[in-house]
Chains A and B, each alone.
Chain A
Amino acid sequence: MPVFEYGDVKINVDEDGFMENPEEWNEKVALALASTEDVYELTDEHWHVINYLRDYYQKYGIAPMIRKLCKETGFSLKKIYELFPSGPAKGACKVAGLAKPTGCV
């Protein structure tokens, strides 16, 4: 299993870089994972997206629909791509410590 290291953060990730044990997530891990997006500072806007994703994930066990994410955060898809260059699933969800989406999505 690949291990991802950044500063003093050391976590198990899958082949796509998603956390293997999402319960190990914390704010330091988020910052470490953000570095894979070439994002080295998390602004309030980043946290707005991350917090929404985490709340939803804790409640429902999966990632929200992308359209729902946009509507609930008030950010356009374009804006989400600006914040997380790999986009909502491969970028934002990864940084928020969600497991990789499954099924035909």
Chain B
Amino acid sequence: MRTNIIKITDISKPGQLTEIDLQELAPLPPPYDDYRNLPGFKKLPKATMENLSDSPDGVLATGLSRPASKEEEERLINLFISGLKKLFTKENNWTFLQPLILSMEHCAKCQTCNEECPIYEESGHNEVYRPTYRAEILRRLYFKYVKPTNPLMRKFMQGDIEVNWELISKLFELSYRCTLCRRCAMSCPIGVDNGLITHELRKIFSSEMGLAPKELHEKGTVQQLIVGSSTGMNPEVVKDNMEFIDEDISERVGFKVETKWDVEGAEVLLIHNAGEILAWPDNPAAFAILLDAAGITWTMSSELVGYDGVNYGLFYDDVQLARIAMKHLEIAKKLKVKKIVMGECGHESKALGVIADRIFEGAVPRETAMTLIEDIVFNRGIKFDPSKNDFPVTLHDPCNITRAMGVIEPQRRVLRYIAPKFREMTPHGVNNYCCGGGSGFAIMSGHNFLDWRMHISGRRKFRQILEAFKDEPPGKEVPKYVCAPCSNCKGQIRDLIDFYGAKEKSGLYYGGLVELVVNAMVDIKDKFIDFDMM
């Protein structure tokens, strides 16, 4: 147990607040229980730490360059304060102003939320990861700059806080130590949302100060709007890749599978997270097989942005979110489709399915893949032989689909039917734990951030996966399938399996939901899921 006390006001002091010590982390079950046999935690070179952000914990998710002069520092401070003030105006915060103000003004400081945070718990209760730590900093800033109270009273009531480079750089980093899973919000008796607070902090940095991780902004939303996809695929490349997938899969299943492009008036416009096409091609292939078998007319779009459902704006910037969501809507309207179906991607589902309602007028109906797959499995006359899925399966719940949207039962109903060895994790559904790669972390691995998301933010999920299979032979002889219907979660789970060597040690494999469904189809003669290829 940690003994050093970190105060809220320490955020404004120079230097690190804490250090990651692998011995202090909650131990994992065997054979991962001895930290000395696990990969270490990379310490950043001294030069990096001196040139870049004041890190709160010796970790850098992104790293800001230190201001070169006093004037530059002043400029950053002024921008931060103006961004803070704008965050609390209706014109600038048309998405989340009300819940933000409620969260600022009504926290009773009961700390109930703390024990709900997997990062705080798994870190050995490291104070800087406590959900209320960064929230309390914003609260003090709010009562100092946005809704100023009498300074003497404030010191007594809310506590003071000083804005300087140390605070700005440490707070920027800290806004990327929470996966926005919002378990804390669900446990709060009042409804205070610390996940939202973290999200709103990121907005100040991005919208007003132009500071965001390059994976999310420059290589993410900006690249997507210019090139067409965060992966860098332009329309020509995506069509070429899908053609390759079609040919490859047709060869494997023995009948023709063909992706449809730009079909006007189709029932379904299918928008995948484009990462699926490059990294997990069996997923889009399985969708094509299943939609055709169900007799649904469907199409993909080859227009810029129309073939990539990614919307990283959800994680850090409302304006970028709106730009991408509007493109998706515009394309669906142009194609006159009946509805948009979001592929197996959590943040796409939430961005386009829920948050975009704040900006859409006359929107096209949208559906998550979970409910569509449920409908296809139970209502479209396709024959299944569940015994083809003869291996143990567990389900990872993507936070955005379950806790944020309430889509819980469809995917389980499907699994209970087509995967006889399906078992739940504990807890699951709305109480699930994040994979540890949420809010964009799965694609961030600069400096020593990969070590952080493997050892700390992903630790609870890795533990849960191992526990879900504890009644199975522990070794690699029995392949165990973690079903994760979300590209971001899959990326994180892949990294966890690689990092801990869990394919070799525990026989862990991972994939989506639709692949399991197609694997159980009677019409698919050979194996669709082939562990030798995974």
Contact = CB atoms under 8 A, between A and B. Distances in A.
Interface of A: 14-16, 60-62, 65-68, 71, 77, 101-105
B293 interface: no
Interface in B237-271: 237, 240-241, 244, 248
B281 A67 contact: yes
B231 interface: yes
Q: Which 7 A-B pairs have the closest CB atoms?
A: A104-B275, A103-B231, A103-B230, A15-B446, A62-B232, A102-B219, A105-B279
Contacts of B442: 104
B393 interface: no
A105 B491 contact: yes
A67 B246 CA distance: 12
Given A65-B281, A66-B279, A67-B281, A105 B231 contact: yes
Given A62-B232, A67-B248, A104 B443 contact: yes
Considering residues A14, A15, A60, A66, which has the most beta carbons from chain B within 10 angstroms of its beta carbon? Answer: A15
Interface of B: 215, 219-220, 223, 229-234, 236-237, 240-241, 244, 248, 273-279, 281, 308, 310, 345, 442-443, 445-447, 487-488, 491, 533
A60 B446 contact: no
Pick the most buried of A61, A71, A102, A103: most chain B CB atoms within 10 A of its CB.
Answer: A103
A16 B234 contact: no
Contacts of A68: 241, 244
Given A60-B237, A62-B237, A65-B241, A103 B232 contact: yes
Contact of B232 (A14, A16, A102): A102
B273 A104 contact: yes
Given A102-B219, A104-B276, 17 more contacts: A62-B231, A65-B278, A65-B279, A66-B278, A68-B241, A71-B244, A77-B533, A101-B278, A102-B220, A103-B274, A103-B275, A104-B231, A104-B274, A104-B310, A104-B443, A105-B231, A105-B443
29 contacts: A14-B446, A15-B445, A16-B446, A60-B236, A62-B231, A62-B232, A62-B233, A62-B237, A65-B278, A65-B279, A67-B244, A68-B241, A77-B533, A101-B278, A102-B219, A102-B220, A102-B231, A102-B443, A103-B220, A103-B274, A103-B308, A103-B310, A104-B230, A104-B274, A104-B345, A104-B442, A104-B491, A105-B278, A105-B491
